[in-house]
Amino acid sequence: MKAIVLAGGLGTRLARFTGEIPKPMAPVGSRPFLEYVLDYLSEQGSEVTVLAVSYMWEVIREHFGAEYRGMPLKYSVEDEPLGTGGAIRQALEFLPDEEVIVLNGDTLFRVDLESLANTHRNSMARLSIALKPVADCGRFGRVEVSTDGVITNFLEKSAAGPGWINGGIYMLDRRLFTDFPMPARFSFEQGLIEPNISRIRPLAFQSDAYFIDMGIPEDYERAQSEIGSE
């Protein structure tokens, strides 16, 4: 298992807590949030993790170096903003594997990655997305899933109420980027997945594992009490 972590966020909404540091390095308890993400990947058996970085990326490299808990780390540095899709495509150059796990560096979703990988391979999907059930989709946007487990739509700014949201963990086949050529800079979701959703037919991997997105102040403060003592 190989992984890519998108760790290039600026953390604008958290600036009053973090100052000028990359968003994944925002302190939770006595540790940067990214450590919790890398703990999770190490425990799940990632053999190599590529950090897709940009803003003040040297801060991340100085903290983590070339490995974390015995897990080799590589750094895919954006010379200019590439968007999430461009960042993933560039990071794939560091990995020879056909399949890779992709995570957001500001989200912790503790799904069973082995189960995700097995489900993905058994279905022969080009893309699988981990979904989380929540009581209120209003903030995140709702994900619609067909009866055969295929994602059919992403509803941004959806109405409040229970449903499934994108948990920010993907397993993808690298050929996704050759099957659907894209410009140098693009969003993985809005630029690649959504316009081609009927052809890609992303598989829904539904999980009620622990989830927190610390991209807004309210959840950043919640992270302090829920995982800050780990």
- Fold of domain 2-226: Spore Coat Polysaccharide Biosynthesis Protein SpsA; Chain A (3.90.550)
Q: CB under 8 Å to 143, separation ≥6 — which residues? A: 129, 131, 151, 153, 154, 155, 163, 164, 165, 166, 204
Average pLDDT over residues 114-133: 96
Q: Output the pLDDT for position 4.
A: 98
CB distance 125 to 26 below 8 Å: no
Q: Output the pLDDT for position 158.
A: 66
Tokens of 195: 């316009």
Give the model's confidence band at 13: pLDDT under 50 very low, under 70 low, under 90 confident, else very high: low
pTM of the predicted model, to two decimals? 0.94
Q: Which of the two residues, 156 and 13, has the higher pLDDT score?
A: 156
The torsion angle over the Cα atoms of residues 160, 200, 95 and 129, rounded to 10 degrees, is 30
Q: Residue 11: pLDDT above 60? A: no
Q: What are the boundaries of each domain within the chain?
A: 2-226
Question: 23-32, 107-116, 142-151: which range is least confident on average?
Answer: 23-32
Q: Which of the two residues, 221 and 92, has the higher pLDDT score?
A: 92
CB distance 188 to 84 below 8 Å: yes
Provide long-range contacts, Cβ within 8 A and 24+ apart, for 8-13.
Answer: 8/52, 8/53, 8/54, 8/55, 8/57, 8/78, 8/87, 8/105, 9/55, 9/105, 9/106, 9/215, 10/55, 11/106, 13/215, 13/216, 13/217
Q: What is the phi/psi pair of residue 90, to 5°?
A: -65, -40
Q: Are strands 71-77 and 67-68 parallel, antiparallel or unpaired?
A: antiparallel
Give the helix ranges, DSSP H, for the chain: 15-18, 33-44, 57-64, 83-91, 113-123, 176-179, 197-200, 217-226
Q: Output the pLDDT for position 20.
A: 72
Q: Residue 22: pLDDT above 90? A: no
Share of residues in the chain with pLDDT > 70 (%): 94
- The DSSP bridge partners found for residue 217 are none
